[in-house]
């Protein structure tokens, strides 16, 4: 992965090292012009209807994931999008992808060590006020964090949890269907799943949900 012109990528990669837990590998890539060209044929077909910016971000995320998988599976391992948007991982692998406007992240693990994974990345900024009522629910717990920054962490955690939960049962979850306990580091869903949460707050918010 090229890091020469991307100090933000170097900083996030170093921070991701603090999120790594046994059995889970993480990588990031700054989204660069032309990253859509890293989409392999099945990936490009599965993403063809999306706009250029989304395809660029998807290419960057898959390149990051391939750096984690290539030692075991080779560099041509494909991660197309499934019919509901979920990434389709090769046999024996669970994982998750995310991107914000400038950065893409990937998390992978071997089936067995981990049953399901979800990741999210967000700018390290408060959540806009107009989204607070949509995201923050009475049964979420945030400790003594500043409310609008805590809301961004909740937003990120709920997206990560949704991505980890969907592959288990294919069920849609809304923000109100996921209860987050940030101080305790776990989440529960209306559908009966429970996930461990780990997060970074700087240089970006990154949440990892796993079980």
Ligand X SMILES: CC(C)(COP(=O)(O)OP(=O)(O)OC[C@H]1O[C@@H](n2cnc3c(N)ncnc32)[C@H](O)[C@@H]1OP(=O)(O)O)[C@@H](O)C(=O)NCCC(=O)NCCS
Binding site for ligand X (CB under 6 A): 58, 61, 81, 84-87, 97-99, 120, 158-159, 162-163, 166-167, 172-175, 178
Nearer to ligand X, 78 or 120 (CB): 120
158 is in an annotated binding site: no
Residue number with the shortest CB distance to ligand X? 85
How near is the Cβ of 3 to ligand X at its closest, in Å?
A: 21
159 is in an annotated binding site: yes
Nearer to ligand X, 172 or 202 (CB): 172
Nearer to ligand X, 11 or 137 (CB): 137
Convert the chain into a string of H (helix), E (strand) and C (coil): CCCCCCHHHHHHHHHHCCCCCCCEEEEEEECCCCHHHHCCHHHHHHHCCCCHHHHHHHHHHHHHHHHHHHHHHCCCCCCCECCCCCECCCCCEEEEEEECCCEEEEEEEEECCECCEEEEEEECCCCCHHHHHHHCCCCCECCCCCHHHHHHHHHHHHHHHHHHHHHHHCCCCCHHHEEEECCCCEEEECCCCEEEEEEECCCEEEEEEEC
How near is the Cβ of 170 to ligand X at its closest, in Å?
A: 8
How near is the Cβ of 17 to ligand X at its closest, in Å?
A: 21
190 is in an annotated binding site: no
| Cα distance between residue 37 and residue 24, in whole Å | 27
Nearer to ligand X, 4 or 84 (CB): 84
Residue that the structure tokens 């609008």 belong to: 148
Token pair for 144? 């003594």
120 is in an annotated binding site: yes
122 is in an annotated binding site: yes
How near is the Cβ of 97 to ligand X at its closest, in Å?
A: 4
How near is the Cβ of 2 to ligand X at its closest, in Å?
A: 20
| Cα distance between residue 60 and residue 96, in whole Å | 13
Q: Which residues contribute to the annotated binding site for CoA?
A: 54, 62, 120, 159, 163, 173
Q: Which residues are annotated as a binding site for Mg(2+)?
A: 120, 122
């Amino acid at each position: 992965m090229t890091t020469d012109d991307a100090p933000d990528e170097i900083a996030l990669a170093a921070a991701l090292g603090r999120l790594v837990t046994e059995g889970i590998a993480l990588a990031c890539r700054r989204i660069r012009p032309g990253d859509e060209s890293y989409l392999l044929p099945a990936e490009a077909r599965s993403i063809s209807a999306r706009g250029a910016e989304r395809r660029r971000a998807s290419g960057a995320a898959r390149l990051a994931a391939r750096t984690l998988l290539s030692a075991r599976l080779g560099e041509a391992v494909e991660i197309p999008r499934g019919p509901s948007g979920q990434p389709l991982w090769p046999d024996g692998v669970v994982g998750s992808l995310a991107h914000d406007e400038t950065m893409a992240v990937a998390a992978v693990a071997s089936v067995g060590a981990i049953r399901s994974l979800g990741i999210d990345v967000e700018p390290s900024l408060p959540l806009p006020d107009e989204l607070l009522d949509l995201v923050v629910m009475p049964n979420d717990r945030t400790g003594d964090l500043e409310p609008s920054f805590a809301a961004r962490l909740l937003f990120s955690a709920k997206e990560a949890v949704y991505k980890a939960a969907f592959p288990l049962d294919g069920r849609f979850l809304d923000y109100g269907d996921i209860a987050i306990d940030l101080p305790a580091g776990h989440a529960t869903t209306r559908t009966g799943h429970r996930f461990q949460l780990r997060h970074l707050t700087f240089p970006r918010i990154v949440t990892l949900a796993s079980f």
